[in-house]
Structure 1
Amino acid sequence: MKNRRNFLQQLGLLSAGVAFAPAILTSCDSSTQKNTEAGENAGGTATTTATTGTIKDIGLQLYTLRELLPHNIKDVVRKVAEAGYNDVETYGYSVKDGYWGLDPKQFKELLSANNIVSSSGHYDFAQFMTDGNPDIVKRYTEAGKTIGQTYITVPWLAEELRNSLDDYKHIAQRLNNAGQLCQEAGLKLAYHNHDFEFTPYGNTSGFEVLLQETDPALVNFEADLYWIVRAGHQPVDIFQKNQGRFVMWHVKDMDNNSPDLNTEIGAGSIDYQSIFDKAEVSGVDRIFVEQENFAANMDPFQSIKQSHSFVKDSLLA
């Protein structure tokens, strides 16, 4: 996890024209850290909320399989489908190398051949947060539209971008700008949290600033449930205060003995049933399983299959 943060910090210094390495780009880690409508109108304003009854597809954040993807993307996607998933969330898109060596059209064809969609993708926004140049966002929306994504998601922010409330206010304005660009392209913007956003500044936090100063018509949120719990908060409390804004979830469990490690969904310490029972309040319509580490004797594909089965049979039943 620590290594990934360092990679992201380094990559944030690169220009948008530089080809980023897909295997090390953005997803969901932190050192402290189908195209479907989410009951929203074309402008992105929430009009209704989803329930677990409307969540038919269980997605996988492909960062889970980052050690395997660069070696044989076709085999990995096939095995993801065999594990039961029919949606994937991408990370690490590169203008030069596309998605693990496939351009957006080729990647879309691979997904379709395995009856998989990609409704969201994580894209690096470090440069946009710094200079506001719209070109990089436009490149993301072009790629995302080609593979059929609904959400362009901001996955992580380097530490130097988020050291004060003023920094978060700046980030919020940039998110509004990016959200407008996504809306003009027929897509939606989302922001994915870690734990650092919950660092207190007096009686508020960076996360509160992001929620309060972003336009709900332009900026959605992807709740990483693990990181919310890790930060000492209850996801349901946050959903109730900000109803309808958390259109996507990352579902990953916390190891019972080592909270900094993940484990298979249902095998850890997070009470997911109580969270899924309040899905309607969240507004969620897409969920993505993610696991950032595996036990030494665990086959990653067996792991994701086990998590899929628990979500399907226990949480969405």
Structure 2
Amino acid sequence: MNKRRSFLQQLGLLSAGFVIAPSLVSCNSQEQTAEEKSTTDAAATTDTADTAASTNLSQVGIQLYTLRELLPKDVKGVIVRVAQAGYQDVETYGYSKDGGYWGLDPKALKELLQSNKLISSSGHYDFGQYIATGNTDQVKTIIDAGKIVGQTYITVPYLGEEVRGSADAYKAIAEKLNKAGELCKQANLQLAYHNHDFEFKKFGDTTGYDILLKETDPSLVSMEADLYWFVRGGQDPVAYFKQHPGRFVMWHVKDMDKNSPNLNTEIGSGSIDYKQIFSQAGLSGVKRIFVEQENFAASMDPFQSITQSYGYVKNTLL
């Protein structure tokens, strides 16, 4: 986690709030509650917005942050290797108006992806300036880029420590997410929020994540469930799927090293029971899955790693 934050600082992408990178009520009533109707409406909205992204989970994606050490040095070569590994979808990170995506403007990136039979259905974007000031110019810039690339989901990947210190702070964040979500909806896009483990810190009898789930409008703000960080935070992702069905439209799939839980490993080689989680995909409402690995064993070639993870997801979990 510290390495990721340091990396973002080096890129100059760590701002006052969000940076790039990366509710516990069950209703058994047969009548549709207002919350359930909101969830249904959210799913319908996402279906309408889902242009580049098929709901076919067989299109396995990868969060390109996995290859952050290689990507800026050889964007085209890395994208070719990603496609050769079997992936059909990529989730971007690190966009800036001046630098684009690792030196490529949105149009050039889309053309590169198309030439390799890839899509990008989601991107992680820095929302820090917007959260700090409320000025929506940053959100509009992000939306413009995402639309050109052909993305469906505009994803908030991280909350800076300085903005998440209390329950009221999370409520204020939720309000801004709703506003950004409305702008995305107007552009036929869907805002999503990606978790780590810090959201599960308790504030009295609730958590930051529960506040975000409660205070954001499901039709405006979807969730990208990072399953590793759920487990790392002591949470059961399936329990959340049951409490908020249909809310978790994207997953980050990365495994936990059996001996060092703070490290990742190839999918299927770690301690997370992904067979059980994938059995509840319908309950989650998941439409896109992205393999991610934030660190590799010293002896492991990154491309061998992502190929191995792809094979396990494709052949064992789907």
Find the counterpart in structure 2 of residue 5 from structure 1. Answer: 5
**Alignment match of 1:142 (pick from 141, 144, 154):** 144
Find the counterpart in structure 1 of residue 100 from structure 2. Answer: 98
Find the counterpart in structure 2 of residue 81 from structure 1. Answer: 83
1:241-280, aligned counterparts within 5 Å? 241-280=243-282
Provide closer, same or farther for how the CA distance between residues 137 and 109 of structure 1 changes in structure 2, counting only shifts above 3 A.
same
1:41 aligns with 2:35: no
Letter in 2 for 1:2: N
Alignment deviations for residues 47-93 of structure 1 (CA, whole Å, 9 cap, x no partner): xxxxxx94120000000000001110000000000000010000000
Which 10-residue stretch deviates more, 110-119 or 5-14? 5-14
Letter in 2 for 1:40: A
Q: How far apart are the structure 2 equivalents of 1:11 and 1:120?
A: 18
1:27 aligns with 2:21: yes
CA displacement at 1:160 relative to structure 2 = 0.3
Letter in 1 for 2:21: S
Q: How far apart are the structure 1 equivalents of 2:292 and 2:176?
A: 27
Q: Percent identity among equivalent residues?
A: 61
Q: How far apart are the structure 2 equivalents of 1:13 and 1:157?
A: 10
Letter in 2 for 1:163: G
**Alignment match of 1:66 (pick from 68, 81, 84):** 68
Q: How far apart are the structure 2 equivalents of 1:281 and 1:130?
A: 35
Which secondary structure does the structure 1 equivalent of 2:137 belong to? helix
> Would you say the 8 A contact 1:226–1:253 is kept in 2?
yes
Letter in 1 for 2:177: L
Number of aligned residue pairs: 292
Q: How far apart are the structure 1 equivalents of 2:89 and 2:258?
A: 28
1:108 aligns with 2:121: no
Alignment deviations for residues 158-192 of structure 1 (CA, whole Å, 9 cap, x no partner): 00000000000001001000000101111000000
Find the counterpart in structure 2 of residue 208 from structure 1. Answer: 210
Provide closer, same or farther for how the CA distance between residues 215 and 306 of structure 1 changes in structure 2, counting only shifts above 3 A.
same
Letter in 2 for 1:70: P
Q: How far apart are the structure 1 equivalents of 2:17 and 2:256?
A: 36
> Would you say the 8 A contact 1:45–1:218 is kept in 2?
no
Provide closer, same or farther for how the CA distance between residues 144 and 162 of structure 1 changes in structure 2, counting only shifts above 3 A.
same
Two-structure CA RMSD over aligned residues (Å): 2.0
Q: How far apart are the structure 1 equivalents of 2:206 and 2:17?
A: 33
CA displacement at 1:41 relative to structure 2 = 2.8
Provide closer, same or farther for how the CA distance between residues 274 and 144 of structure 1 changes in structure 2, counting only shifts above 3 A.
same
Letter in 1 for 2:3: N
Find the counterpart in structure 1 of residue 28 from structure 2. Answer: none
Q: How far apart are the structure 2 equivalents of 1:8 and 1:167?
A: 23
Which secondary structure does the structure 1 equivalent of 2:72 belong to? coil
Alignment deviations for residues 167-225 of structure 1 (CA, whole Å, 9 cap, x no partner): 00001001000000101111000000000000011111000000000001100000000
Q: How far apart are the structure 1 equivalents of 2:8 and 2:305?
A: 26
* Runs (4+) off by over 2 Å: 6-16, 38-42
Which secondary structure does the structure 1 equivalent of 2:231 belong to? helix
Q: How far apart are the structure 1 equivalents of 2:112 and 2:93?
A: 16
Q: How far apart are the structure 1 equivalents of 2:276 and 2:13?
A: 38
Alignment deviations for residues 73-129 of structure 1 (CA, whole Å, 9 cap, x no partner): 000000000000010000000101111111000000000000000000000111111
1:286 aligns with 2:288: yes
Q: How far apart are the structure 1 equivalents of 2:16 and 2:167?
A: 25
Q: How far apart are the structure 2 equivalents of 1:221 and 1:45?
A: 15
TM-score normalised to structure 2 length: 0.88
Letter in 1 for 2:5: R
Provide closer, same or farther for how the CA distance between residues 109 and 54 of structure 1 changes in structure 2, counting only shifts above 3 A.
closer
Find the counterpart in structure 2 of residue 35 from structure 1. Answer: none
Which secondary structure does the structure 2 equivalent of 1:101 belong to? coil
Letter in 2 for 1:233: Q
Letter in 2 for 1:175: L
Structure 1 residue runs without a partner (length 5+) = 17-24, 29-37, 47-52
Letter in 1 for 2:43: E
TM-score normalised to structure 1 length: 0.88
Q: How far apart are the structure 1 equivalents of 2:59 and 2:42?
A: 16
> Would you say the 8 A contact 2:17–2:163 is kept in 1?
no
Q: How far apart are the structure 1 equivalents of 2:316 and 2:42?
A: 24
Q: How far apart are the structure 2 equivalents of 1:39 and 1:129?
A: 23
